[in-house]
Amino acid sequence: MKFGVVVFPGSNCDSDCYHVIKDVINEHVEYIWHDYNEKLDFDCIILPGGFSYGDYLRAGAIARFSKVMSRIEEFAQNGGLVIGICNGFQILTESHLLPGALIRNKNLKFICSDQYVKVVNNKTPFTNLYNENEVINLPIAHGEGNYVVDETTLQEMIKNEQIVLQYCDKNGNINDDTNPNGSVLNIAGICNKEKNVFGLMPHPERSSEKLLGCEDGKRVFLSIINYLRSR
């Protein structure tokens, strides 16, 4: 398996993702610079968290025009696996590889905390090793994680089972009290219709080792491996 981790000016979780792939799940991984403009020869591309281009204009708005994004769009359209974490999720919506947008948190403050999320769709390449409706603990760290989308598109997403993760409490309750940022339907992660592009605001790479206190996020990466090996 061959993973690629994209590095934008302002990325700060690229090394974390690289470490998890290389040292935790022991797979081949390479960094991909933002101005890379050749065909992508990888099994999975990771868009990491951080503050690409300083989050000027909007989070992910400038990164969307990096040369590598044209190649990633091509890669995704050909069925390649793409996962965007936090800022990576924002870039995927700005690139229209995923529907909707991420705006300022409802309290207008940066949030950094552990967060329970429910895996409401475990039939994706990124969640197949979780149980349906399993509650897991993943860290969040964002100022613009409030997911919004028009009602027509939202209904299509529900019909197509594109909602993958929802914010909840430890008992799996999904309501306003368990919503940290104001996201519609407590959405924490979504995929495209084809299920090969996945975006999530929580950080699975920060929850992939016992040393960090929790390994709930590790199965995101192991699910990718499981999917690729079963094809």
Residues with catalytic roles: 86, 203, 205
- Rg value, the chain, Cα: 16
| β 197-200/81-85 pair status | parallel
**Closest alpha carbon to 124 in 26, 24, 193, 207:** 193
Say how far apart CA 73 and CA 156 lie, in whole Å: 22
Cα torsion angle, 178, 190, 198, 85, sign: negative
**Rounded distance between C-alpha atoms, residue 107 and residue 147, angstroms:** 14
